[in-house]
Every structure is written in C-alpha cells, then in structure tokens.
Chain A
Amino acid sequence: MSQAEAGVLTVVPQLPQRRTQTTVGFLALFRSELTLTFRRARTIALLGILAALPVLIGVVVKVETGGPGEGPAFIAQVSQNGLFLVFTALAVALPVFLPMTVGVVAGDSIAGEASTGTLRYLLVAPAGRTRLLAAKFTAALAFCLAATLAVALTALLTGAALFPLGQVTLLSGDTIGLAAALLRALLVAGVVAASLAGLVAIGLFVSTLTGSGIAAMATTVGLVLLVQILDTFPQLHAIQPFLFTHQWLSFSDLLRQPMHWDNVLQNLGLQALYVAVFGSAAWARFTSRDITA
C-alpha cells in the first residue's frame, strides 16, 4: 500500500500527549458507580420500600398490643422498648426484602449495562474489565449497607415515636443502658449488611452470564428463595451449614451478655468464602467473555 500513503502523509500529524493512569483517575469509576447507583430512581424506590417496612411493623404492633400471639423474632419486646423494633425489622427484612433488593442491584450490575449497550462504551473508554467489576462490587456492597441502614434507622425512629425507649433487657436477661444498646444496634446492622456480601458476589457472577438485566435479577432473587427452602429440609442437614443464608439470623447472638460470636463469625467466614468463589468466577467469566452486545 506504499503508493497509497504518499498523498496523505505530506502533513506530519501532531500526536496528542500520551496520558498515563492516575490514582484519582482510577478511583473516578468507583465514585461514578456509587453516584450512578444512588441517583437512580429505582434505587431510591427500593430504599423507600425497605424504609416503609419497619413503619408498617411498628404500627401493627402498636395497634395489636395485648394478645400474646406469635410473630417474628423480638416482636414481643417491641412494645416494652422501641429499640427492639430495629431487631424485629432486620429479622423480617433479612430473609426476603433485603436479598430481593440486593439481588436487583447486583444482578443488574453488568447485565444491565450489557443490555443497554453502555458496557461496550465503558470498556472502550477503557474502564478495564477487572476495574469495572471491582467498581460494581463496591457499589453493590455500599447498597447493602444503605439498605440495611434504611431499615434500621426508620425502625429506630418509628420505635422511638411509638414506644418507650430506655434501658434494654437483653436476651440473656442482663440489662444495658440505651447508649450501649444503640451501639449494639449499629453492630447488628453492620453484621446484617455484611451477611449480604455473598449474595452480592453471586449476583455479580450471574450478571456476567447474561445480556439481560431482568434475567439476571430474577435468577439471583430466585436463588435466594431456593437456598432458603433447601435450608428447611432436614434431609439436607449435611450441606446446610454451607448455604449462604444458613447463619443469617445469627445476629441475635449479639444481643446477649457476653456476645456469642461463634455463629456470627461462621456467617462472616461463609460470606467471605462465597465472595472469593463467586467473585473469582465472575472475574474469570467477565475478563474472557466476548462483548457482542
């Protein structure tokens, strides 16, 4: 093609300055991902639903006070101390509502970008596949924390508004002051948020498998339900300790004096294992995949 070039190369092109990667530049995608997640109307709506849940429980307890009845964990203590609404709301939200919203956010993370086509523009920017995956994971974890806090804070406010606050009698019978109890509530919220990390990794992995955001969300949420059903079969006793939902409600061990950490640590260890396994799978899949969407 040398004869073809002759006419074109008379002007020596001035090359643009070669830029190098900077730390702020590297972190910009993480910031962008967080902003994007929390600016979406969908995220706000999900957080709104989660925030409405404790209000609903609080009102029901207030209206129905009296009858001994059965109900979710800690519900009997709520009318004595509003702070227990935090634990009740978390115990109600953790099996279904929290994983559902987390499944939506994590499941949609890569697949949603693929289905709108923005994934290819992020990758030619170039976002870097590992960096993009890490940013998506970070944003989804941040959502777990925000979702848990949305439940815990509205529960605290509702509890304070509808019921008396004061010294808290723990499950072990000991009594601690309100400030110490608030710290425990914060700790519990942190543990609950961390309990969702394994699910985030699963959602992220599912999200790298498909080009449809809806399919990824539905699969992730479906998995949560399936695993919890499996957790109820006595025949599956042998595998149940390895199900990521198995120790979810172990956070109540932190409401004893002294706190029982065994099951909580087992839960956190299990979450770390799921993050390692499904995070690696997501990485292996996403970094080798052809992006045709």
Chain B
Amino acid sequence: MTGAPTQGQAAPDDVIRTSGLTKRFRGGQLAVDGLDLTVPRGSVFGFLGPNGSGKTTTIRMLMGLIAPTSGVATVLGSPMPQAVGSVLPRVGALIEGPALYGYLSGRDNLARFDAADPTADPRTRALRVTEALERVGLTAAAGKKARAYSLGMKQRLGLASALLQPRELLVLDEPTNGLDPQGMREIRSLVREVAAEGTTVFLSSHLLDEIEQVCTHAAVMSKGRLVVQGTVSELAARAQGRLVVRTPDVALAAEVLGGRQVTDLRTDQARVDGVTGSLGDDELPKLCAALVEAGVRVHGFGVERGTLEDAFVALTGEGFDVAG
C-alpha cells in the first residue's frame, strides 16, 4: 500500500478497510467498538461472531445504511457512506435476510431492485434478470408471487438480486439461512464460483464449518470488538490439536497420560483426550508404547487437528464444554 487513493480501474489491495470504526446507538449502546478490519481483494472473507456481536451493524456501516459514530470505513477505495453512489453499483449485498415485495413476482422483484440502480442499463434488464434467476435455480418459480415463496426461495431471490451485475464485492449476511442441506451446498458452490471469477466475497455466518469450507480468510467479532483476523488456516492452527485415545480402560489411560505431561485431560466413555502441548511428534510413539505397557487396551490412537470451532470458542470465551 502506497497510501495514495487509487484511481480508475486500478485495484486497491484491500476491498474493505476500516480503522477505529465505532457505532454507538442513540440509546448509548456500543454496537461496534474501534473496529480495524482489512479484507484483501480476491479473498472469501468469513465474518464470524455470536449474535449481537456487531456483525450486522458493521455490514450496515460498510453499505452506507448507517453512519459511524467515529472512525473510517473504506469500501473499494472510497469512504462510506459519502461514496455510496459510486461504490455500491459495484457491490452486491444480502443484508439480514431477504426482503421482497410480496405482491410482485420473483422476476418483477429483481426488475424493481435493478431499476433502483441508476447505472443499470434498462435495455439489458430483462436479460440480466433471467440470468440471475437461472443462476440461483429459480427459473421455474420466476412468475410466482414472492409472498408464496418459501424462506429458502426468498433467500435465493435475494442472492439473485446481488448477482444482477458483475460485482467486485459481494456482501452476504448469513446467505444459507433457511436453506436445506442441498440448498446450502448449492449456495456454497455458487460462492466459490463467484469468487473464482475474481469477486471478493464477504460472508457473515454463525456456521463455522461453512466458513471453514468456503473461506480463505476470517475475522472473529465478540461484543463489538474484533478478536482476531487472518487466514482460515492460521486461525485453525491457533486451536491446539488434541491427542485422542480410544480405549475401554479410560481411567488407567488418563492416569498414564497425565503422568506424561498431557494436560487438559477429558475422559468420556471409551475415549480420553488431552493437549500434548510441548511434546514433539517423536514423543507420540513413546506415549503409545507407555499406554500399551501399562496394560491399556488401545483401540485407537491419534491427533485430531484443531478446527476453527475450537479456535472460535477459545477466542470468544463462549465456553469450552460446547465442543464436548
């Protein structure tokens, strides 16, 4: 980054950059507190956090819907909300679930949202609407009134309106909400497809495996503050791997492991696990041998990789027992 504002088609490195972004609502509630977020161009960026952690408020500030109390939000190189007119035609967004005109058909809903964009060409509208409907698999239901749509169909129509134009940035707030597993898979593959075309995707979700499956980068929010951001693999690596021993002799195994510097031991029926911490990889065979020597019937022995969920739980302090 040279720091100079980028002109014309030249791509700034960061699609979203906020510094000290803060929102205090009139009631005095601090929804977002000093957020410094950086979303690199070309990434699929997962935005994680429990309910009420300030994700949606952040997204609304990025989209120019609400003004920050202090701090700066820059989207595609321009400050928000001042530059909404030049920035938002290049951004597709799904914010806090779909909202539709129930008395209009799916097709007319899309035409309506497209007409709201003054840079959209009315001559290509019908074609773009048809393509967007096809892309989200709604062609068959395009003529039906939106009030007759299921939540999943509404969600798809919302996605279609975000895809009416080629976008530089796609902001998706909980895009798989209300979808069945098949629909979720379809949306995820759509996200990958869009990302492969060069669109940066900013995806908020409470589903950790979703973030892990589709995202390259992630940030974690908690109580209005950014806890951590980085690549998904970096974040997952912060969650320590756990040694898992499967055996009917749980108590004995725990005793042996505890004597060999394995900490945070948890026992379950036919299973013991713990953190190997400082023990190197070559210590593991010795550990296994020690178990066998002590007469533990070892049915399984291995290290389970840390997941983003472990990292998330550790970072937000949402309680360790959830992973059980």
Contacts and interface: CB of A to CB of B under 8 A. Distances in A.
A71 interface: no
B7 to A, nearest CB: 11
B90 interface: yes
B207 interface: no
A126 B116 contact: yes
B231 A40 contact: no
Contacts of B38: 1
Contact of B103 (A1, A26, A41, A125): A41
A253 B89 CA distance: 51
A5 B234 CA distance: 12
Interface string B118-160: 1111100000000000000000000000000000000000100
Interface stretch (B165-173, B246-254, B273-281, B304-312): B165-173
A4 B234 contact: yes
Interface residues of B, number: 59
Contact of B119 (A14, A19, A122, A123): A19
A20 B119 contact: yes
A172 to B, nearest CB: 49
A292 interface: yes
A238 B26 CA distance: 39
Interface string A185-202: 000000000000000000
Given A15-B168, A15-B198, A121-B113, A1 B121 contact: no
A290 B103 contact: no
A130 B229 CA distance: 37
Interface string A95-106: 000000000000
A1 B95 contact: no
A127 B38 CA distance: 27
B292 interface: no
Contacts of B118: 21-22, 25-26, 28-29, 127-128, 131
A123 B65 contact: yes
Nearest to B233: A7
A167 B174 CA distance: 70
A60 interface: no
Given A8-B42, A25-B121, A126 B85 contact: yes
A239 B111 CA distance: 47
Interface in B53-101: 60, 63-67, 84-85, 88-91, 93, 95-97, 99-101
A9 B40 contact: yes
B11 interface: yes
Contact of B122 (A19, A24, A288): A24
Nearest to B99: A117
A8 B43 contact: yes
B230 A1 contact: yes
B41 A13 contact: yes
Contacts of A15: 9, 11, 168, 198
Contacts of B314: none
Contacts of B158: 121
Contact of A4 (B63, B67, B111, B230): B230
A280 interface: no
Given A4-B40, A123-B65, A28 B168 contact: no
A116 B119 contact: no
A126 B64 contact: yes
B42 A13 contact: yes
B118 to A, nearest CB: 4
A195 B95 CA distance: 40
A19 B120 contact: yes
Nearest to A112: B101
Contacts of A39: 103-104
Contact of B161 (A19, A20, A40, A121): A121
Contact of A125 (B96, B101, B116, B199): B116
B67 A28 contact: no
Contacts of B84: 123, 126, 128
A16 B168 contact: yes
Contacts of A14: 197-198
B217 interface: yes
Given A9-B41, A19-B119, A128-B118, A118 B99 contact: yes
Of B118, B122, B161, B198, most A-chain CB atoms within 10 Å: B118
B122 A28 contact: yes
B190 interface: no
A24 B293 CA distance: 83
A13 B99 contact: no
A118 B101 contact: yes
A29 B122 CA distance: 10
27 contacts: A1-B229, A5-B40, A5-B43, A9-B40, A15-B11, A16-B166, A16-B167, A19-B121, A21-B119, A22-B118, A29-B116, A31-B115, A39-B104, A116-B99, A117-B96, A120-B95, A120-B96, A120-B99, A121-B158, A122-B113, A123-B65, A124-B88, A126-B84, A126-B89, A131-B118, A290-B65, A291-B60
7 nearest A-B residue pairs (beta carbon): A117-B99, A13-B198, A16-B166, A125-B116, A126-B88, A32-B115, A290-B66
